[in-house]
Amino acid sequence: MGLRLFLKGFLTYGVRALRGKALALVLMGAPAWAEPVTVLAFGDSLTQGYGLPAEDGFVPKLQDWLVAHGDEVTLINGGVSGDTTAGGAARVEWSLTPEVDAMIVALGGNDVLRGIAPEIARTNLTSILEVAASRDLPVLLVGLPAPGNYGAQYKAAFDAIYPDLAEQFDVLYLQSFFTGLGEGQPSELQEFFQADGIHPNAEGVTQIVEGMGPIVQELIGEIE
């Protein structure tokens, strides 16, 4: 009888103690467990990982970086090689599947390569952000500054799209997909690119992820 009473008292106290500790963790702001989140990386060949083994692409490398820094996250590769902002606007509705908690938008490079008018790219990116806003999804908008090939006026109009829309929709903003490569001239950065001079090589992707990782962590922090 004594042993039975002892065990009964121990179990009762133990359950209460565990409940108390869990409550204390909540009150202290420290989660007792972490729920993994899902982020859609929505872009073109830069996102897709063109010319690289799958494990060296942008999305796997970014996920590895985030996990190594303590984030429980699954990244979906929504990169389509050759895609423009128009293509993104056409597929965003079905790309945002129910499990997606946040989105990285990195489109515009192919618009520049094709000389698409900045106002058209702006309209398409606006459509993408409107869909995300309608679903209350946090967004990181990643810019891709235009080169000067089409003149200063085109460059100024295109470059302005990203900060303008980031402010309009109150989303996170990164000035350039290539921020992690530094501020050097393109000719000085070729060691980070494949032979086409457009797509990063494995080392380039590593540097890009190092530059983008912290703001993606901010994006994850906005998920409710």
6 and 99 both lie in a single domain: no
22 and 106 both lie in a single domain: no
156 and 122 both lie in a single domain: yes
> What pLDDT score does 130 carry?
98
Instruction: Report the percent of the chain where pLDDT is more than 70.
Output: 83
CATH assignment of the domain containing 196: 3.40.50.1110
Q: Mean pLDDT over residues 63-79, rounded?
A: 97
Q: Mean pLDDT over residues 65-86, rounded?
A: 97
Q: Mean pLDDT over residues 149-170, rounded?
A: 97
- Is the pLDDT assigned to residue 18 strictly greater than 90? no
178 and 101 both lie in a single domain: yes
> What pLDDT score does 186 carry?
60
38 and 17 both lie in a single domain: no
2 and 59 both lie in a single domain: no
pLDDT tens column, 191-213: 999 999 999 999 999 999 999 99
28 and 55 both lie in a single domain: no
- Is the pLDDT assigned to residue 9 strictly greater than 60? no
1 and 55 both lie in a single domain: no
118 and 172 both lie in a single domain: yes
What range defines the domain where residue 17 resides?
1-33
Task: Print the SS3 string covering 93-160.
Answer: HHHCCCCCCEEEEECCHHHHHCCCCHHHHHHHHHHHHHHHHHCCCCEEEECCCCCCCCCHHHHHHHHC
Helix (H, G, I), strand (E, B), or coil: what is residue 83? coil
Number of folded domains that form the chain: 2
- Exactly one of 71, 111, 159, 199 is catalytic; which is it? 199
Q: Which phi and psi angles does 133 have, rounded to 5°?
A: -65, -35
What does the block give as tokens for 49? 């990982």
- Exactly one of 136, 170, 187, 196 is catalytic; which is it? 196
> What pLDDT score does 185 carry?
60
> What pLDDT score does 222 carry?
97
17 and 120 both lie in a single domain: no
- Exactly one of 45, 83, 101, 159 is catalytic; which is it? 45
Burial environment of residue 173 by CB neighbours within 10 A (0 to 12, 13 to 18, 19 or more): middle
Helix (H, G, I), strand (E, B), or coil: what is residue 200? strand
Q: Which residue has the higher pLDDT, 8 or 120?
A: 120
> What pLDDT score does 182 carry?
87
> What pLDDT score does 129 carry?
98
Nearest to 212, CA basis, from 112, 64, 50 = 64
**Is 199 noted as a catalytic residue in this protein?**
yes
24 and 67 both lie in a single domain: no
* One-letter amino acid for residue 26 of the chain: V
10 and 115 both lie in a single domain: no
**Is 69 noted as a catalytic residue in this protein?**
no
For residues 150 and 115, the answer to whether their CB atoms sit within 8 Å is yes
- Is the pLDDT assigned to residue 132 strictly greater than 80? yes
Identify the weakest region by mean pLDDT among 4-13, 88-97, 174-183. 4-13
What does the block give as tokens for 158? 């295109």
pTM confidence score:
0.84
